[in-house]
Structure 1
Amino acid sequence: MNPARQSPVPSLTDRRALMRNRSRADRLGPVDFLHRIVADEVQLRLAEVNRTFTDAAVVTGMPGFWAREMPQAHIVADTPELDLRPGAHDLVIHALALHWAEDPVGQIVQSARALRPDGLFIAACFGGRTLHELRDALTRAEAQIAGGLSPRILPMGEIRDLGALPSRAGLALPVADQISQRVSYRDLFHLAHDLRAMGEANALAARLRHPTRREVLLRAAQIYAESHPDPENPGRIPATFDLIFLTGWAPDNSQQKPLRPGSAKVSLADALASMRKPQ
């Protein structure tokens, strides 16, 4: 096929809608408890590194929260072209925005370029089974009432796929881990309010451009309550948020490196045999 005639890849995110959602969240009084969890987790990871970082940058869609949390950091919007200078920082945090990126690898590449040698990159984003209960309820309700489906919840990456991104972006010593948060809500409408106040409402480019029928929402709320009750809080529903954390380091000669294949002085069989011998 002639490359010039290939159809363009459809956009995942409607950037204007995403910015409107975030502006509305500011007006509602933002719900930031997940950002607080991420901030605490970032501090725990930094404490384990046992190093002092003096030139941090934070890429985020919630600048007010992170400016208060890290007042000395350079706060950067998660635009396709990040406002980061090459080699200007020893720490770059990508805070709960990577899941909306059209090009997540590109976001990490730009973050990596902004690091000095042996600088640290940390990203936190939604992934895994985030909002799987809501996805199930809306899918079933729309199929029953409207006879079709429309994109309503962002596709979520799995940790095995997201964990490969830092190395693809040229970072060394990559690590990926995940924490899960289950939050209890009165009903689907209570959850929907929080999602709007988080700036995480539907901003998919292929979403419906008219309000959802009330019958669909009422049926979804019923399905949610029946199929996904909160076992610890009767009469309420749970919502799952899987937070994926990615870390990597800007390459530097001081970092540990794997041994060259064939350079081991002792075979694995001999090493295991010596471990079995009585001491």
Structure 2
Amino acid sequence: MTSQVPRIFSPRRRALRLARALARQRRDEAARFVWEDMAEEMAERLAFVRHEPKRTLVIGPCPSPLGDYLARGGGHVEDGNAIDPESPFPASGFDFIAVLGQLDAVNDLPGALIHLRNALEPGGLVIASFVGGQSLPSLRAAMLAAEPDRPAARMHPLVDHRAAPGLLQRAGWKDPVVDTQTLTIRYSALDVLVSDLRDQALGNALADAGSPIGKAALGRARAAFLDRADEGGKVPERIEIVTLTGRRSLAGT
């Protein structure tokens, strides 16, 4: 009997949140710090292993730290934003694939990791970064306070980085490495945090997102968020970034 993958996320909503975030990036004031941190980390890893790809696929944005590195190498860079990471890729033979975000909202993460490996040429490298399970405790607390009696599903379940090594092994990645780092940002209002998340495609992609939050519930959420403010009047929020690195074997398996 074939097991069915639970449908937690909507691929259509995942694609829409990225498209909307990329459109929002045209504003000078748009938040970019999560994507830029991911891109900087990727560029540093590529430089450390002296990998200068000739054919790259980028799924997600390509901020300057990564874009500059790839441009200096003179290789061809393809836009993979139309690709569904949960389906076999329409092209293969890449010697480097970068994934910024997206994997936080896939129903079949092991399957997505297999598709990434299969799209590489033998010996090719993939680096995938996404927001992990230790993220956004202040926002989660505010959402629970907003609807204490019957809370709606408004935030994603996120991947625990401790499960990632096993997932990479199951997907057949060679030399898998899992790293995490944490960003802490201080906010004066809940709405600013939500705007920053939308700027970077970190909004809701749930298949069943529920009805919009009501005015009274939103007021409770804003108040609960500010209850966590520090002595400076701002609320610290944590974002955990999980980075997966691995290769396809030289045998192409």
User: Is the 2:117–2:126 contact (alpha carbons within 8 Å) kept by the matching residues of 1?
Assistant: yes
Q: In the aligned structure 2, how far is the partner of 1:123 from the partner of 1:21?
A: 18
One-letter identity of the residue aligned with 2:51: R
The C-alpha deviation readout for 1:217-273, integer Å capped at 9, x for no partner, is 1111111221x2246xx11112211000111111137xxxxxxxxxxxxxxxxxxxx
Report the count of equivalent residues: 240
The answer to whether residue 104 in structure 2 is matched with residue 99 in structure 1 is yes
User: Is the 2:42–2:66 contact (alpha carbons within 8 Å) kept by the matching residues of 1?
Assistant: no
- Residues 156-175 of structure 1 mapped to structure 2, 5 A cutoff: 156-175=158-177
Q: Point out where structure 2 has 5 or more consecutive residues left out of the alignment.
A: none
- Corresponding residue for residue 218 of structure 1: 219
The C-alpha deviation readout for 1:161-198, integer Å capped at 9, x for no partner, is 02222211111111101000011222101111112222
Of 66, 73, 77, which residue of structure 2 is paired with 1:73?
77
- Corresponding residue for residue 256 of structure 1: none
Q: In the aligned structure 1, how far is the partner of 2:108 from the partner of 2:5?
A: 12
**1:74 positional shift:** 1.5
User: Is the 1:84–1:111 contact (alpha carbons within 8 Å) kept by the matching residues of 2?
Assistant: no
Q: In the aligned structure 2, how far is the partner of 1:44 from the partner of 1:135?
A: 32
Of 200, 203, 206, which residue of structure 1 is paired with 2:205?
203
One-letter identity of the residue aligned with 1:119: G
Q: Point out where structure 1 has 5 or more consecutive residues left out of the alignment.
A: 254-279
**1:26 positional shift:** 3.8
User: Is the 2:129–2:242 contact (alpha carbons within 8 Å) kept by the matching residues of 1?
Assistant: yes
Of 112, 116, 123, which residue of structure 2 is paired with 1:111?
116
- Corresponding residue for residue 266 of structure 1: none
**1:49 positional shift:** 0.7
Percent of counterpart pairs with the same letter? 26
Q: In the aligned structure 2, how far is the partner of 1:65 from the partner of 1:19?
A: 22
Distance 1:19 1:90, change over 3 A: closer
- Corresponding residue for residue 233 of structure 2: 235
TM-score (norm 1): 0.77
Q: In the aligned structure 1, how far is the partner of 2:125 from the partner of 2:187?
A: 36
- Corresponding residue for residue 41 of structure 1: 41
- Corresponding residue for residue 85 of structure 1: 91
Q: In the aligned structure 2, how far is the partner of 1:96 from the partner of 1:164?
A: 20
**1:64 positional shift:** 8.4
The C-alpha deviation readout for 1:45-83, integer Å capped at 9, x for no partner, is 1121123221221222x4788995546311212413254
User: Is the 2:147–2:217 contact (alpha carbons within 8 Å) kept by the matching residues of 1?
Assistant: yes
- Corresponding residue for residue 242 of structure 2: 244
**1:140 positional shift:** 2.2
Q: Secondary structure at the match of 2:147?
A: helix
Q: In the aligned structure 1, how far is the partner of 2:19 from the partner of 2:54?
A: 31
Q: Secondary structure at the match of 2:239?
A: strand
One-letter identity of the residue aligned with 1:49: V
What is the alpha-carbon root mean square deviation over aligned residues? Answer: 2.5
User: Is the 2:14–2:102 contact (alpha carbons within 8 Å) kept by the matching residues of 1?
Assistant: no
Distance 1:215 1:65, change over 3 A: farther
- Corresponding residue for residue 268 of structure 1: none
TM-score (norm 2): 0.85
One-letter identity of the residue aligned with 2:159: G
Q: Which has the higher contact order (CA 8 A, sep 6+)?
A: 2
